[in-house]
Structure 1
């Protein structure tokens, strides 16, 4: 049973979180088809562009409705929900909302909320896959026809994404366009943050286990 004190915008967000998550998957699929199809199939690209535009419109409409329901001034609402505003501007960043989506799925299936460490690992794995795929698509779109670019195929872009998000950076393939380098900055920041979250969570989990063993003491004591 949901809290009686739930506000109107919170109730709207709870009801639309899963539908918008599936809409974000349609957006990502449409974007992937539009980028990878190239000029070989004009009709397919037009259909994919229509899917991208429609889902993007859904995100904008959702944000506007939540702003109205919140009864907050627009600037204050944007400051409070800056991540949502960023997602509306760049829908490929919607994987950053996976924590809320995961909790919504657990609630729909009447399952208890997972522990902190399990949630961190689940979120990190899903975020790496979706952010990495989105970044690879974005870099390929802007780089594969750019003069002097070493990223010519989608596989080149995937390889570059793996190097970047893991902070390895061999330097064999690098973006040369401004959009490509901006995407690289975002992936590097995400890679450092996600790796830090995993390392910190794993270390905390080990410390908790060792502390529990120390408190229990040796057998028979």
Structure 2
């Protein structure tokens, strides 16, 4: 017979519980500062793609990135199950590694990427990973459910997507996307599923356009259903509306009950006579 694997000792379970409690305390302690740094990092990324960073902003962005690295490293060390934590947060870890490719340019890998498509591909990766960071920051601030989360996420996707499209398409000869305002308008049209006459010319711009359209398609149904529910809810509060409200149905039910009681009373009176 195969022997059963030994159960975890009581001491090991207590150690994992203590690490979980310390990890939770760390999250609670740094929740607000990390939220502020997360939104600041997103803003600096948009500024970098559109206008570029001056030396001061470059230092600020690097400091924020190092703060995220330290925070992730401490959480990884405190996690009771480190490999499970890494598998769950692999995209966050990857997004924190991407800025290193830009900062440490002396690495031979960076030198091999100094072509037009290599630089654009790296920008596309940064756009995707930074958008994921924005999703996590927004989810930590207002939660992952509700119309507010979808609206806030749409704003983040629109702003970052417009910066990405502008970074990819602005250097094309006789291009249409000549400034960030035009890119923002174009991205807003994609978000509303209306579309635009302009179609991206670069491969990276087309990939980004595809993901933007996919996001718009995925959220348009939810937004439509939410607005329809809002309008129907307002309509049901109006007693003059064609759609019967819950109050009207309750009043009708009460009238039917009262009428039934009167009929039964009349029937008993006739039987008694």
CA RMSD across the alignment: 3.4
Residue 137 (str. 1) matches residue 163 (str. 2): yes
1:218 equivalent in structure 2: 251
| Contact 1:8–1:70 (8 Å) recurs in 2 | no
1:49 pairs, out of 37, 51, 58, with 58
Counterpart of 2:223 in structure 1 is 198
CA contact (8 A) 1:30 1:52 kept: yes
Describe the SS at the equivalent of 1:135.
helix
- For residues 164-217 of structure 1, the C-alpha deviation after alignment (integer angstroms, 9 at most, x for no partner) is 2222222x222222332332233223222332333344556758x799817952
1:59 alignment partner, one of 40, 65, 68 = 68
2:85 is the alignment partner of 1:77: yes
1:163–1:169 Cα contact (<8 Å) kept = yes
Query: Which residue matches 1:23?
Result: 37
Question: Mind listing any 5+ residue stretches in structure 1 that lack a counterpart?
Answer: 39-43, 104-115
Unaligned 5+ residue runs, structure 2? 1-17, 99-128, 237-242, 256-273
Change (3 A) 1:190 1:61: farther
Is residue 141 of structure 2 the alignment partner of residue 101 of structure 1? yes
Contact 1:149 1:174 in 2 (8 A): no
Q: Which has the larger radius of gyration?
A: 2
Q: CA offsets, 1:38-83, max 9 Å, x none?
A: 5xxxxx6222222222222322332222222112233x22332356
Native 8 Å contact 1:135 1:187 kept in 2: yes
Give the structure, 1 or 2, with the largest relative contact order (CA under 8 Å, sep 6 or more): 1
Which residues in structure 2 correspond to 1:122-133 (within 5 Å)? Answer: 122-133=148-159
Distance 1:68 1:37 in 2: 38
2:51 to 37, 41, 57: 37
Asked if the contact 1:151/1:174 (under 8 Å) is kept, the reply is: no
Q: Work out which of the residue numbers 179, 190, 199 in structure 2 matches 1:174.
A: 199
Contact 1:9 1:70 in 2 (8 A): yes
Q: TM-score, normalised by structure 1?
A: 0.70
1:13 and 2:4 correspond:
no
Q: Mean alpha-carbon deviation: is it higher for 190-199 or for 78-87?
A: 78-87
What count of residue pairs does the alignment treat as equivalent?
A: 196
Secondary structure of 2:146's partner? helix
- Counterpart CA distance in 2 for 1:15 and 1:146 is 47
**Does the CA-based 8 Å contact 2:20-2:78 persist in structure 1?**
no
The 1:69–1:204 alpha-carbon spacing in structure 2 relative to 1, beyond 3 Å, is farther
